[in-house]
Amino acid sequence: MAKNSTPSTTVPDTAWLGRGRHLGPEPEQDVRRNLIALKAAGVLDDFLELDPVEAASSTALHPRDEAADPGPAARRLFEARWRAGDGDVTVRAQLVTYDPEGRRKEGAGVTWVLAAEAEAPWDAYWPSPATMFWPDSDRVPWDYDTVADVRLRAANHLPKDDDDLRHLLRDCARQSWFVHLLVHEAMTPDALGQRPLSGHLPPGLRHRVIEHRATPEQAQIADFGVKKELGVRLPRGGAVVLPTSPPAPEYAAEDFTVSTVFLDGSIPTEVLDRIAAFAALPQPMSADAEAALNRLRQGWHLLTPDEELVHAQTMVTRYAEALDAMTKSRDLYQEAAEAAHAALAEATGGEGVPRPAATDGAGSPLSALTKAFGRFRK
């Protein structure tokens, strides 16, 4: 997989990108079962599963583009197509699973990268691409971030250690593809208050948000850590949507800070509005994210019948152009050989100079010319 670098582009408003870890024993089997069930239920138009080697070598929309290659660490590649909105917007999505880099940590799980793109700007109320591939069940551990031991669909409490807390915030801002929300619990909440606030978000946004919680006694340490690392403040009993690092030019901390959050199970309208506003900002796209989007666009295999026809016509045109270029090259080659023969005949008075050979048969014009020059040197 490509290494992270300073983003130079932003995520298109038609795209949905995600990257996480599956900690269970059979991630591909979980994906496979979910795709089969959703297609049988009519949710998906179709899906496809490929071996990475097969995916890189098979006939895709752009079969010779290196962007279609998922890389040597890839395990499986899945594609799915469905319709969103009123059924008139097609969404194409591709999920690739990867082995952990070097298996450095036992239980590191399998990394996954998901890129989806619609034919229209993304609507947060459309179905989540994540749950088109992964089961929307807490019993399937597909929803862990790659940079920290934090999970989507959960209220993740900050580490107790100051350094660990700051490292976590720093890594999330620099490396994560998710939106991160930090909430301070003014008092220990009951069971309803312990539920993640992100559960109230619309489907297309719900699986893009990771929620962190600071306990009542962590007010100062959390505020200091987030100020030190990211330049924002965490109000007591409030919340803040954390910026990326470096922050987007449009990000202003006061626009994404909520002074009071009631953790009583009620709908936190103000927090949800801040998250939606942050998600609507131009989001920086890392090199890894850009590669995933390019692979979706240029390495797509799951064609509709109409797309297959257009693709076949395109390939016929390409082959015809290649054949025409080869024919022209052959003719030019023949002309060059005849011109060289004439020049050689003039230089030698025509003695011992063979006629140019045809382009087919026993030898090529180049071989005949080489032999002629060889005799001339003798």
- Among 240, 221, 228, 237, CA closest to 161: 221
Report if pTM > 0.85.
no
Peptide bond into 52 cis (omega under 30): no
In which residue ranges of the chain is pLDDT below 70? Answer: 1-8, 57-67, 102-107, 305-315, 319, 350-378
Q: Which pLDDT belongs to residue 28?
A: 98
> What's residue 369's pLDDT?
47
Evaluate whether 257 touches 235 at the Cβ level (below 8 Å): yes
Give the pLDDT confidence score for residue 239 in this predicted structure.
98
Rounded CA-CA distance 95/79 in Å is 6
Contact 175, 99 (CB under 8 A): no
Do 140 and 207 touch, CB atoms closer than 8 A?
Answer: no
Residue in the block written with tokens 């070598």: 57
pLDDT, position 286: 92
Can you give the pLDDT at residue 119? 96
Q: How much is the pLDDT for 352?
A: 56
Q: 3-state secondary structure string, 56-90?
A: HHCCCCCCCCHHHCCCCCEEEEEEEEEEECCCCEE
